[in-house]
Amino acid sequence: MDLCLALLACGLLLRQADRLHHAHNRPHAAPARELLALQRRRASTLTPVLLLAGQWIQIAGWWLLAGHGPLAAAVAALAVAVHFRHLQEVSHFAVHGVLARTPRANLLLGEAGAHLPLALAPLPLRRRSHVRDHHPNATMATDPNLDDLHRAGLRPGATRTTVAWALIHPLTPRGLYATATAIAAVLRRSPARAAALAATATLAVLIGGIPALIWGLLLPRLLLYPQLAWMSLINEHTWFDPETRTGSAADIEAGRCLRLYPRNRALAAIAATTWLPYGDLHHYAHSAHPGLRWNYLRAAERHLPPPHFTPAGLLLGSPSVIRRHHQALTASPARIGQPAPTA
């Protein structure tokens, strides 16, 4: 147990190097141009290496914990799923080319730190799908993310039951099959990813035994991490009733983005440390300025006009994200995947 705690503490400390490095001279609020200039001056390859290393050292700590009984195993499974979600979001900024100083470093760190050990698709493929296909077309019929939502049942005329099942899609048999099929396809196409996943599994067994393999790798990778990532996707945009706007990038994104927990600091903090990490809580600012690293998104958001939808909750209350999606799917089916007229 002492070694477990030491690894968790060591990993957490290593991760702070990147945060502190980019916090230097960062303004409370500023236009994107000023923040981009500061980001370029602060660009580093060492701090993201320490960040990724810290994530995996903490994962090793949770692997050690997994063998200390059922409760410890459950805690380890949830914690590792959160770390996998963090790794995905860190690699997302490698996709945008702003994780490290050079394009080569972004590619290597994104692949070695997340995509290879988690059996995710190659980084260039994700860049093409995310940067080229999603960002300019968010909420439109050509957005590949909208296809994923449709396949989960979020289609025109969806009932409350359908929407409820879609919310936990990765935990359903269909969702698990989709996750497993996607992993299998990646492994078939890439022997390097198969070897990396096998090495990750071997390392988990060497550190924490079979409990680490089951609770610290298989369960988080197949069920829990996909669910966290899915919740993030659902929360990114007003997918089914975007508001048409013209003007600057911020003006356009304000019509199709949302900002969760704008006035509840406690829930915002919980989300930012679990399922909406590394700037994903500030997805509106990211959509308006995709070249900004997560460290600068809050300052950019404070300088932007608020998006037109600022829900107080994901599931409960009015307005909530899920209620908004359901109302949009049942009110005007012809609009799904198309911008709504400006109010």
Rounded to an integer, what distance in angstroms lies between the CA atom of residue 325 and that of residue 258? 12
Q: Is the pLDDT of residue 332 over 90?
A: no
> For the chain, what is the domain count?
1
- The answer to whether residue 342 sits within a structural domain is no
Peptide bond into 311 cis (omega under 30): no
* All residues at 6 or more sequence positions from 178 whose CB lies less than 8 Å from its CB, including other chains: 151, 170
Range of the domain at 36: 2-335
Q: Which two tokens stand for residue 54?
A: 């810290």
Q: What are 246-303's pLDDT values in tens digits? A: 888 899 999 999 999 999 999 999 999 999 999 999 999 999 999 999 999 999 999 9
* CA dist list (Å): 17 to 12, 37, 46, 52, 173: 10, 20, 9, 11, 40
Rounded to an integer, what distance in angstroms lies between the CA atom of residue 78 and that of residue 224? 7
Q: Is the pLDDT of residue 334 over 80?
A: no
- The answer to whether residue 34 sits within a structural domain is yes
Q: Is the pLDDT of residue 333 over 80?
A: no
Q: What are 57-70's pLDDT values in tens digits? A: 999 999 999 999 99
- The answer to whether residue 340 sits within a structural domain is no
- The answer to whether residue 28 sits within a structural domain is yes
- The answer to whether residue 341 sits within a structural domain is no
- The answer to whether residue 76 sits within a structural domain is yes
- The answer to whether residue 261 sits within a structural domain is yes
Rounded to an integer, what distance in angstroms lies between the CA atom of residue 77 and that of residue 68? 12
Q: Can you say how many angstroms the Cα of residue 292 is from the centroid of all Cα atoms in its chain?
A: 16
What confidence tier does 187 reach under pLDDT thresholds 50, 70, 90? very high
What's the mean pLDDT in 312-336?
82
Q: Is the pLDDT of residue 244 over 90?
A: no
Provide, rounded to the nearest whole percent, the portion of the chain with pLDDT above 70: 97
Q: What are 213-226's pLDDT values in tens digits? A: 999 999 999 999 99
Q: Is the pLDDT of residue 341 over 80?
A: no
* All residues at 6 or more sequence positions from 337 whose CB lies less than 8 Å from its CB, including other chains: 139, 140, 141, 143, 146, 240
Q: Which pLDDT does position 219 carry in this prediction?
A: 98
Q: Which pLDDT does position 26 carry in this prediction?
A: 96
Do 208 and 66 touch, CB atoms closer than 8 A?
Answer: yes
What's the mean pLDDT in 171-192?
96
Q: What are 77-126's pLDDT values in tens digits? A: 999 999 999 999 999 999 999 999 999 999 999 999 999 999 999 999 99
- The answer to whether residue 343 sits within a structural domain is no
